[in-house]
């Protein structure tokens, strides 16, 4: 047995939150020599993980989970217990006024307090407003003074999480030098990507800046698509030709923005300087507007063609994944099916219609997500159909 593995076996890691980030980390660590306790307050999540019955589509995750459970390297519980390393990976949300809601983070911290011991390392991976880690460190150290606390936001691509957890670079910021060093050493034990250390507030801001950048660029593509429609030019041709410029890379437009991060994280940056985040807030507004614009365009087509049945191709929040979290495509379908018969088509989601059966019945075909399965549909299957492609999925 290697020295690293022997060292890791002495360490117990408690991960609070067994969602899209927490569960893959738990499985990865449990099969890398750590003794892991995965904690979630949701009974159904706990039962599903214990039974290795996953709804995730992450490559290799189920096999890794089965291995971790079989080898007794991973336990699952609803309650926290002592560990040398604690990782907080719970969801963070927005309230009705688009203000950050980190109630789950605070609940996780409160549950952790009774189990703290001198020398423990607490790591926060949940997305948080700037300054959160310092505040949490003060609260925890009021209970146990000798603690290391650091922030290390995840950078993962859904569907390829396990690979990216290991191979992507990680930014780590501790509340002091000791915390930063201990956190960096821990991540180096299973991450092959570059480990970069920074001030904790900078680290918090980096995560938010990354997703705000992506949101702004998507907003530009979405706004450009609405302009192109107004002046009657092909948005796909416009973007293709503009991207011939060596310093231009316009993204593909879609029906809005969804998922766990991009639609939420920019709002976490706004409280740091509400008067200076005009562009960030405007990008959010444009991407929300695009969803409503798509709905209205479909309504106009239904009315103009007296249609009775439409097919919505794609319901997930991005192509080629099985995640429909905050999906604008799903919002479009759910809104329209209150007004007309909607055939939901998505090869990545259960209980949806087979593609070619839906194409036979539908008078209007609405492409909302550019899944690979929608590429190269034979022309005769689309003959005499009204085509509305909002994602470039039929080209």
Q: What is the pLDDT of residues 217-262, one digit of tens each?
A: 999 999 999 999 999 999 999 999 999 999 999 999 999 999 888 9
DSSP 167: H
How high is the mean pLDDT of the chain?
94
pLDDT of residue 56: 64
**Given 203, 234, 262, which residue is the final one in a domain?**
203
Phi, psi for residue 253 in degrees, rounded to 5: -75, 170
Q: Using CA atoms, how far apart are residues 117 and 83, in angstroms rounded to an integer?
A: 8
The DSSP 8-state label assigned to residue 277 in this structure reads: -
**10 is known as an active-site residue:** no
Q: Identify whether residues 90 and 195 lie together within a single domain.
A: yes
CB 178 within 8 A of CB 169: no
Residue 155 pLDDT: 86
Same domain for 244 and 121, yes or no, is no
Task: Provide the domain count of the chain.
Answer: 2
Q: Which domain holds residue 171?
A: 3-203
Q: What is the dihedral of CA 22, 23, 26, 31, to 10 degrees?
A: -150
Residues 317 and 189 in one domain: no
Q: Out of 27, 128, 152, 261, which one is annotated catalytic? A: 261
CA distances from 295 to 215, 298, 355 (A): 20, 5, 21
Indicate the pTM of the whole model.
0.91
Spell out, as residue ranges, where the chain has pLDDT lower than 70: 1-10, 55-57, 395
Q: In what order do the strands lie in the sheet with 195-197?
A: 74-77, 35-39, 12-16, 85-88, 121-124, 148-151, 170-174, 195-197
Q: Is residue 144 part of a domain?
A: yes
- Distance of alpha carbon 124 from alpha carbon 151, whole angstroms: 5
Contacts of 277 (CB under 8 A, 6+ apart): 269, 270
Output DSSP code: residue 54.
Answer: -
Q: Do 79 and 28 share a domain, yes or no?
A: yes
User: Could you give the CA distance from residue 364 to residue 278 in angstroms, rounded to a whole number?
Assistant: 38
- Domain membership of residue 138 (yes or no) is yes
Q: Are residues 124 and 168 in the same domain?
A: yes
Do 146 and 282 lie in a common domain? no
In 3-state terms, what secondary structure has residue 258? coil
Catalytic residue among 27, 207, 312, 367: 207
- Cβ atoms within 10 Å, residue 34: 27
Residue 210, domain member (yes or no):
no
Question: What pLDDT score was predicted for residue 90?
Answer: 97
Burial class (CB in 10 A: 0-12, 13-18, 19+), 177: exposed
The predicted-structure confidence for 304-313, as pLDDT tens digits, reads as follows: 999 999 999 9
Length of the chain measured in residues: 395
- In contact, 102 and 127? CB cutoff 8 Å: no
* Residue 261 annotated in active site: yes
Q: Are 139 and 170 in contact (CB under 8 A)?
A: no
Which of 159, 178, 203 lies at the terminal end of a domain, its last residue? 203
| Residues 232 and 185 reside in one and the same domain | no
């Amino acid at each position: 047995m290697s020295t690293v593995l022997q060292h890791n076996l002495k360490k117990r890691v408690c991960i609070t939150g067994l969602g899209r980030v927490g569960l893959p980390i738990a499985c990865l660590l449990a099969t890398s020599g750590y003794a892991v306790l995965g904690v979630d307050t949701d009974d159904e999540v706990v039962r599903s993980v214990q039974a290795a019955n996953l709804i995730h589509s992450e490559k290799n995750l189920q096999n890794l989970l089965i291995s971790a459970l079989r080898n007794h390297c991973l336990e699952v519980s609803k309650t926290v217990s002592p560990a040398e390393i604690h990782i907080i990976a719970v969801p963070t949300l927005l309230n009705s006024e688009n203000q950050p809601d980190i109630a789950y983070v605070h609940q996780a911290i409160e549950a952790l307090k009774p189990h703290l011991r001198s020398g423990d390392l607490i790591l926060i991976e949940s997305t948080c407003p700037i300054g959160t880690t310092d505040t949490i460190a003060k609260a925890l150290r009021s209970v146990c003074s000798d603690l290391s606390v650091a922030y290390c936001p995840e950078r993962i691509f859904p569907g390829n999480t396990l690979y990216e957890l290991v191979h992507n670079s990680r930014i780590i910021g501790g509340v002091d030098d000791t915390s930063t060093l201990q956190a960096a050493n821990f991540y180096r034990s299973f991450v092959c990507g570059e480990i970069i250390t920074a001030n904790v507030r900078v680290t918090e801001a980096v995560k938010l800046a990354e997703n705000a950048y992506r949101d702004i660029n998507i907003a530009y593509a979405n706004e450009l698509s609405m302009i192109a429609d107004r002046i009657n030019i092909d948005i796909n041709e416009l973007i293709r030709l503009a991207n011939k410029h060596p310093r231009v890379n316009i993204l593909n437009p879609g029906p809005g923005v969804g998922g766990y991060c991009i639609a939420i994280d920019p709002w976490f940056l706004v409280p740091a300087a509400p008067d200076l985040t005009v562009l960030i807030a405007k990008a959010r507004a444009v991407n929300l507007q695009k969803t409503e614009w798509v709905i209205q365009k479909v309504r106009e087509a239904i009315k103009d063609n007296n249609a009775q049945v439409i097919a919505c191709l794609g319901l997930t929040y991005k192509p080629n994944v099985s995640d429909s979290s905050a999906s604008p495509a799903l919002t479009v379908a759910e809104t329209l099916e209150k007004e007309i018969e909607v055939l939901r088509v998505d090869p990545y989601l259960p209980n949806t219609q087979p593609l070619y059966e839906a194409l036979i019945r539908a008078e209007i075909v609405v492409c909302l997500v550019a899944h690979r399965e929608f590429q190269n549909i034979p022309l005769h299957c689309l003959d005499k159909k009204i085509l509305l492609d909002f994602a470039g999925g039929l080209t």
